[in-house]
A and B are shown apart, each in its own frame.
Chain A
Amino acid sequence: MADQLPIEPGRARPGDSLKARIWQRMLTIEQHTMLATVFFFAIVLVGVWIGFNEQTRMKAYDDSFVGRSIQRGASIFDSSCSPCHGKRGEGIEGVAPTLNKDTEFNGARLKELGYPGTLRDYLTLTISAGRPARSSPDWPNAMPTWGDDYGGPLRPDQVSDVVNYVMNWGCAYDYKYDAICQGEDKVIASLPTSTPAPPTPTPKPPKPPEAILAGLPAGDAARGADLFSGKQLASDGKIAQCGNCHSVDGSVVVGPSMIHAKTDMPAVYDSFELYVIESIVDPGKFKVKGFESVNMPLVFYNRLTDQELADLLAYIVSVQK
């Protein structure tokens, strides 16, 4: 069954069938060498072509990477930052400041703080290490640490994603820096109107807690529970945020848990209801032991209607153990 092939071993001969040429024989050494030479020049050609395009390709990869970094930053911001800084970085009165206004990006804010480095460094440092010392009494909460170098949950590349996202707000202003903004023609003059304006609550006239308590309507504990947990928005259209800091199961989130509120009440109060209302209206007046360094925001009295205060009160009374 062995094919009896002619001498001139292994090389294609005139008269070989195509099948024999492909299947059983070699091309001649000359053909191999010629083809190998052609392939070699083609390799060089493709290599040179790739080399010519490398700079453009690397730049495009960079741009695309920054774009995707901003996307990831937006997702992290949405889940981790927006509860305090607002969905659009517009800030929440009494909780955390605005991030998207022009003074952040034109150097005014850095100058005010006396920060000598770049905006990127400033943002990276603030997000990674947090802000343990409060910069003004308007913001009673400390900025937590986010970088895992400082005990936070985010890796350095995630911090950098959030920094890229925050810096991207700057592209709305006539202030340009690093690679985030995509060239002059795309810079727009001001934030579009679809970004909500920072909230401006109308201050209520100050009243003593006793008077407030006396004026409250009957409260509904179930609605209070929804307000507390954030399931139902407060009348100003935002989450009331009680549940962000206070638990109702005895655990400590930021502030003391609500179920011990009555046990924690100091002896100077004779009415638990009055203690609760006073703690909302004037949170700094008395602090529970162990929570001396925590400052509750001052804004809730202004933000909540009397009905909402009454509902919350009813709920807090109902969860006491």
Chain B
Amino acid sequence: MRHNFDFLDAPLIKRIREKGPIAGLMETLDDVVYRLTPGINIKDLRGMLRGDPPGRPNPRLTPHADGFVLHIRPGYYNESITGLYPTFRLGWLSTYFFALETLTGIFLMVFYTPSTRYAYNNMLNIMSNVPFGQVMRDLHRLGAEAMVIIVALHMLRTFWTASYKTPRGFTWATGVLLLFFTLGLSYTGYLLPWDQLAYWAVTIGASMIEATPPPDIVGVFANILVKGAPDLGAAGLLRFYLLHVIGFPLLLFIFLMVHYYKVIIHAHTLPPEAEKTGTDSAKRIPVEKRVYYLPDLFALDGYWTALVTLVMLVAVAFFYHAGLENHSNPLNTPLHTVAPWYFLWIQGLLKLGDKTIMGVVVPLFILLPAFIFMPYIDVGPVRYYHRRRFALSLSMLFVTFITITSWMGTAKFLVQTSLDQEILAELAPSEQIGVVRAMPFEEIAIGVYDVDTWRQENKVPRSSALYHVMEEYEALIKHARTVSVKKGGLPKAQALLIVSYLQPHLKGVTLRIIWQDASGNPLTTELLVPVHENGYPEGGE
């Protein structure tokens, strides 16, 4: 009598019974490989690794048709785009960084709480108590900055090679959105460490929301919607966190898949010089020009993954560390607060005009739509570089514009603080380390040093860090004396640097500037900078 289920019916057993143990096992293994790859059996796999030509019909195309992972990649490419030029791998690199950000981000999420009470302590814990915590954080931060650059370069490249032209207008439009989401991700992530840098950089940017026209109706509402309160606080942090870990990644993922699918539909554009005007020959790749994804481009992807991962890892192991400033303090704005670098151009624009127009209308209502709809405006079919002089000049002009407005966004442009505050912030900035705190503890000799007499007194050895600090202090004061009071200068300023003993392992460096206001009244600006022996073990790292 046979049961409904009989283990003798299992394919493995059946094959072994019919063909013997070795052949039965091998046939089952072949079956497993065929199902997993999917569509490539052991023989094909071996041929692929040996560099044999594919059989006909090419079994290496099956994973693109039947598999989930590869259905989003084309089965073969035109060989003229497999070199570094014309893609520079920028599209692939963008996706790589998205993946890197996701993986490191998940690691960091485990140790992070989006609460004003705990966020900063979580950061300290990640830095000092989680093995590989600093590496993951550095990778995440460096990857985020790299991703912004790479995505922007990808867009620039697409413009330069005119790859956005018919029929790829929609691909371009999704690409612009992907850049927007990348900036959104980077920006919302900026706030999460909840240190002074995060708080004030994001506060500057988020103040744009209030200016959304009309500010009295939409601006007020949008501000409350994004921040959860008039100012950034617990509700704002939670909302930024949710946008960072769910909102933007989800949008980005969806549009990334659309973007990828459009590449399959339309294929990669050929280099501009390789095509006759008005033809789109990308889709019909002659057989002799095909480079199949499996195995050539798969190996290429693996190579680039390994290379970029190695570069990133070496960078964070030896060269780059994401900073962490003091706990955010809504009551204390550090001097020279600036937006994240990729939004400096907006900060620069703000110095040119009205907040609503320069901060919101120009970037969001003019530039963003202009970029999205650009392929539907520039409908000329020409792709040759030498016949697109206007378009290419325009793009260079735009790059120049962004560079100049970014420079205008930095604190170097139009500084308005009085020089006593500038000098103190230069020597001992409230958030960064600065030259005073970076002095090695032993080299800060207790005493009083006057910028006018310290050289005569000859107390400071030339080799000590204090000597260099005094030199800088002296230069700053001498410059400030030449500026008039109206321009924030300090005529007749006296300046002292006083080093005193505060506690074991702790010295206090007092910077005292005594100067006169316009009517000759003496004023004193003073800053106590405590310096601990262990504060900055590597002289400022």
Contacts and interface: CB of A to CB of B under 8 A. Distances in A.
Contacts, number: 177
Interface stretch (B166-174, B391-399, B529-537): B529-537
A22 B89 CA distance: 13
Interface stretch (A130-138, A164-172, A267-275): A164-172
A73 to B, nearest CB: 8
Interface string B73-91: 0000101101111000000
Nearest to A167: B503
A67 B532 contact: yes
B302 to A, nearest CB: 5
B483 interface: no
A40 B302 CA distance: 10
A195 B531 CA distance: 17
A47 B139 CA distance: 13
Contacts of A43: 306, 309-310, 313
A39 B306 contact: yes
B530 A74 contact: yes
B80 A46 contact: no
A47 B502 CA distance: 42
A103 B500 CA distance: 24
A148 B31 CA distance: 67
B222 to A, nearest CB: 29
B99 interface: no
B306 A36 contact: yes
B537 A63 contact: yes
A67 B533 contact: yes
Given A40-B306, A66-B534, A157 B120 contact: yes
B299 interface: yes
B131 A54 contact: yes
Contact of B80 (A24, A51, A58): A24
Interface in A30-86: 30, 32-33, 35-37, 39-40, 42-43, 46-47, 49-51, 54, 57-58, 60-68, 70-72, 74-75, 78
A165 B505 CA distance: 11
B307 A60 contact: no
Contact of B131 (A33, A51, A182): A51
Given A63-B534, A168-B505, A32 B317 contact: no
A68 B532 contact: yes
B274 A32 contact: no
A57 B134 CA distance: 9
B535 A54 contact: no
Given A168-B505, A172-B503, A172-B504, A64 B536 contact: yes
Interface string B186-223: 00000000000000000000000000000000000000
A181 B503 CA distance: 11
A2 interface: yes
Given A50-B317, A60-B537, A171-B503, A157 B299 contact: no
Given A26-B82, A26-B296, A74-B508, A61 B127 contact: yes
Interface residues of B, number: 62
Contacts of A49: 317
Contacts of A2: 80, 270, 273-275
A158 B329 CA distance: 11
A1 interface: yes
Interface in A1-36: 1-3, 5, 7, 9-11, 22-30, 32-33, 35-36
A192 interface: yes
Interface string B496-533: 00001111111010000000000000000000101111
Interface stretch (B55-63, B237-245, B285-293, B452-460): B285-293
A192 B507 CA distance: 12
A168 B504 contact: yes
A26 B535 contact: no
B295 A29 contact: yes
B128 A65 contact: yes
Contacts of B80: 2-3, 5, 24
B290 A9 contact: yes
Contacts of A36: 299, 302-303, 305-307
A188 interface: yes
Nearest to A6: B288
B357 interface: no
A192 B124 CA distance: 33
Given A43-B309, A172-B504, 4 more contacts: A23-B83, A70-B503, A75-B530, A165-B503
Interface of A: 1-3, 5, 7, 9-11, 22-30, 32-33, 35-37, 39-40, 42-43, 46-47, 49-51, 54, 57-58, 60-68, 70-72, 74-75, 78, 88, 155-158, 165, 168-169, 171-172, 181-182, 186-188, 192, 194-195
6 contacts: A3-B274, A47-B313, A50-B135, A63-B537, A71-B531, A172-B503
Nearest 8 pairs of A and B residues by beta carbon = A67-B534, A74-B530, A39-B306, A67-B532, A171-B504, A10-B79, A24-B83, A67-B535
